[in-house]
Amino acid sequence: MFKQKIMCRSFLILVLVFLFTNNILSAQKKRIDFDTALNMIIEDKRDNYIGIDSLLKYFKRDSLKFKHAAELSKENDYPLLTSYALNTLGVINRNISNYDQAIKLHKEAITYAEEAENAEQKVICLNMLGVAYRRMNIIKPALDCHSQALSIAYRLKETLPKDSKSNISVSIAVSQNSIGNIYMALKQYDVALEHFKKSLEIEKSIENILGLAINYNNIGYAYEGKGEYEAALENYDKSLEYNNTMDSDIGRMICYNSIGSVYLKQKRYELAEPIVKDALTKAIKLNDKFHLATSYVNLGKLEMGLNRNKSAELNLKKALEISSDYKLKGSIASSNKLLSQIYQEKGNFEAALDHYKACVDIENTILTENNLQYVNDIVVEFENQYKSEQIKAEKELNEALLNRLALNKKLFWFSLLILLVVGVSLLIFNRNRTLNQEKKILTLEQAMLRSQMNPHFIFNSLNSIKLYIINNEKEHAVYYLNKFSKLIRKILIASKEKETTLEDELETMKLYMNIENIRFDNEIDFNIRVEKGINIGTTKVPSLILQPFLENALWHGLSSKPNDKKINLNVSKNSEDYINVEIIDNGIGRIASKIINRNKKLNRKSVGIDITKARLANFSKAFANSYILKIDDLYESNSPTGTKVTLSIPI
């Protein structure tokens, strides 16, 4: 008997040694495989996403390997691989709810994708950045990322060969799916369903099982939001089938939470209990804070339904702690709302009120961000429609001009006298030149009006005034609303007039600065100084000519400065030929401003100064002297202290 025990122990030790050795060899083989794949990619300098992903996709959960890949690709000046590695690290961080680090990595990955001039990789990075923002309920940048990704992907799909379109189709599906999730946050469930179903059709066409699982689950969310619980359960079950096919624990966990949520709303607690607890077990094992917070919220709801308020309170506090640590606004709101109900039942009305207020504050923050973005989308849609109509009108105008030229041509050929031929030719020439000049002037004035009537400026100004109304600051609201209406009226009047008096121009600029100053919490100290002896009531200048310079001073010079913000507008006359206008700000200077703009995700080229120069050149044609524009950087002890714009307008 004793010998048998020794033999059994010896055999057990041999088995353990064999398994341990086999694990070491397997791990070493896996490490060699990754290094081999990485060296092969770097040696070949593969120039497309599929070429890299086909070799490295099996290692996507190993952060150490991809940190090494990022470092090695940077050493070898291989930006596409660097972008791929950084984006993968971003996904790894997102899956453990380290969202700030994930966002940082995705942004860096986008920069390297742009350096590599690889649009496909940029689309993938933008989508992953959008998902990270969406997990944190930061709606506007999430929608920006997915919309930009979708736009690039559709353009790219037209240029790709047929056998290379499946990967970009996946990116389009991801964008559609994520935009649908954003509409879910807006509680626009029917619109969300449209996006989810578009994404689902793409995933079906390329037979992407993961995409099908995600979309069926999201379609279930939309039906649950609409109160159609049976349709929601049907789609959750389909998603669970695909996740079981992939043997995906995280997919099963998400489906269990979704199904449990419906059972809880139906008060079918006996069905909800095992599935909610199973979801929590898997969430703890996976250490996914986003879904872990959701699981604790669901467990809290379950225990409240079963009148186990004491344990419900403990689990909801866990949900609140996790969601607060990781800035998960949705779970913060849900856990606070349920805790408020528990404390109300206990008679602790002070605690109930505190949690209720916390819930309302978070929900208002989310809804405000969402509503603002939704309205912005409508404004953009209006702009696009307006531009289309404008293009159509210009096309009709061009056709009318061509018809008129054809008529002149016929008159030319029917003319019998050379003198008449010459006269008609001169007439046509002069008419064309006049029409071109008038068209140029009209284009400039329309461009000027669009610059002043920028929908974002109008929207943001009205939104600032709205805050005074919300805060019951009626006097401020009425004061600034009057200022805003005067400014809009002056802009509309100026759009019809090519020039105005300097006095009227200065008054308009004062109104403009008053409105813009609301958004700077009235921190801007704006002063106008006119030198004695100058009759600003008779001096003519192009209308709204100073606004672009003030706008640049505000948004490029002062917006990044913390305090002590000043703009001085000085009018002087040093000669009989010119009136001089100086705009001096004490901002960060043009060099620092360029660096900040270069680091922004979306760079939009400002055309305001170019339009202004063209208008000044056209205005100067009526004078012997042309305008003079000079921009100087101001320094004190080799440190930038602002910018001075000197504009000399002929008189």
**pLDDT per position as a tens digit, 575-617:** 888 999 999 999 888 888 888 777 664 444 455 677 788 888 8
| Percent of the chain with pLDDT strictly greater than 90 | 15
Terminal C-alpha separation, the chain: 118
Q: Which of 288-292, 364-368, 401-405, 497-501 has the lowest mean pLDDT?
A: 364-368
Most confident of 17-21, 31-35, 100-104, 285-289: 100-104
Superfamily covering domain 39-186: Tetratricopeptide repeat domain (1.25.40.10)
Q: How does the average pLDDT of the chain come out, rounded?
A: 80
Q: Identify the CATH number of the domain defined by range 415-650.
A: 3.30.565.10
Nearest in space to 646 (alpha carbons), one of 553, 570, 586:
570
- Over residues 84-101, the mean pLDDT reads 88
**pLDDT per position as a tens digit, 281-302:** 988 888 888 888 888 988 889 8
Give the integer Cα–Cα distance in Å for 220 and 239. 9
Q: Where are the domains of the chain?
A: 39-186, 415-650
**pLDDT per position as a tens digit, 51-75:** 888 888 888 888 898 998 899 989 9
Q: Are strands 524-530 and 565-572 parallel, antiparallel or unpaired?
A: parallel
**pLDDT per position as a tens digit, 23-44:** 444 444 444 478 888 888 888 8
**Which two structure tokens, joined as six digits, stand for 259?**
């199904």
| pLDDT at res. 28 | 41
Give the integer Cα–Cα distance in Å for 99 and 297. 20
**pLDDT per position as a tens digit, 532-551:** 888 988 899 988 888 889 88
For the cut 70, the answer to whether the pLDDT of residue 311 exceeds it is yes
Strands in 524-530's sheet, in edge-to-edge order, are: 524-530, 565-572, 578-585, 639-650, 628-636
Nearest in space to 224 (alpha carbons), one of 257, 270, 175, 273:
257
